[in-house]
Amino acid sequence: MKIIEKIGPVLADDDGPVIFSFEYCTPKPSHAGPEAVLDTIARMAAYGPAFSDVTWRPQPPYPENTLSLAGRMQSFPGVETNLHLTSLSMPLASIDHALATARAAGIRNVLALRGDPIEPPIAEDAFTSAIDLVRYIRATHGDYFGISVAGYPEAHPSKIPEGSDRATEEGYESDLAYLKEKVEAGADLVITQLFFDASIFLKFLDDCRRIGIKCPIVPGIMPITTYRNFKFMTETCKTRVPAEVRERVEALKGDNEALGEYGVELATAICKELVENGVRMLHFYTMNKEGPSVKVLRNLGVIAGEDAWKVTIPRQLKVREPLENGVVVAA
């Protein structure tokens, strides 16, 4: 099922529940293999996420690993897979192969991204922007796929000058205009980059509506789990970190347990402010960890108790079963 068809009616109901989704990373060969990630995905499916993302890396052997992982995810009860696909450095034949493989696995959703440049480039016939990929998917597959795109509440990192912690007004507005172009090209959902100040997302949401972007815009939430990951993500994304948050993170960087607890506390506070301001859907960057995102959702009262945590889903089960109170009923 396409994500927009699944979440649209829920978001249209002013009295409907807060809904959520999870994002997972294709594991590196040196890290825990796909079975560990699949176990995590199967367990977290018990909470009834609207969809589950899996990230993409263009360098071999990652594409085939990701396609295999995504296909297995899609076979799990309660999992609607959203496959990331990058355009930069991807040969057109590889994009065609990825989309065909996704269709064969029953995957109906793709997150179309530009991606990061790699050296040496893999292909000369690669698209250079996400909008090219959105247009290509629509041209070759019609309405089969639901297409989501990335939104940047602080503007794309390329719009943030070196030595500055924020984009110029001109850069911010041009990035908003480009996002509108991606939606008009065929995207039906926006998922945002992470942020650590709810007011940044709320302003971004208002600005998107101001220029006529009408599709759902889902905030990306990353509970801080380790200092290393925090540094990597904030530096790569050029995320603005409030002084009080940076101070707490620096004070706790030698204690992963305490830092993780603070990460849950901070993410809970951000989500609470978003929900209080009418945001009805949350997208969690799990970093392949099940605890932090689930704790935040429990703190918000979106999911309840320990019972769902104990639900197990047979790995061999291929047919989706209905949800009862948001929890998968295993056959």
Query: Mind telling me the catalytic residues?
Result: 23
Q: Which structure tokens are listed for 324? A: 């009862």
Q: If we measure between CA atoms, which residue out of 208, 230, 226 comes closest to residue 217?
A: 208
Q: If we measure between CA atoms, which residue out of 249, 277, 320, 289 comes closest to residue 328?
A: 320
CB under 8 Å to 162, separation ≥6 — which residues? none
Give the Cα separation of 272 and 32 in Å (integer): 33
Q: Which structure tokens are listed for 252? A: 């706790």
Q: Which structure tokens are listed for 5? A: 């068809």
Asked if residue 113 lies in contact with residue 87, where contact means CB atoms within 8 angstroms, the answer is yes
* Dihedral, 96, 99, 104, 105 alpha carbons, nearest 10: 140
Give the Cα separation of 95 and 141 in Å (integer): 12
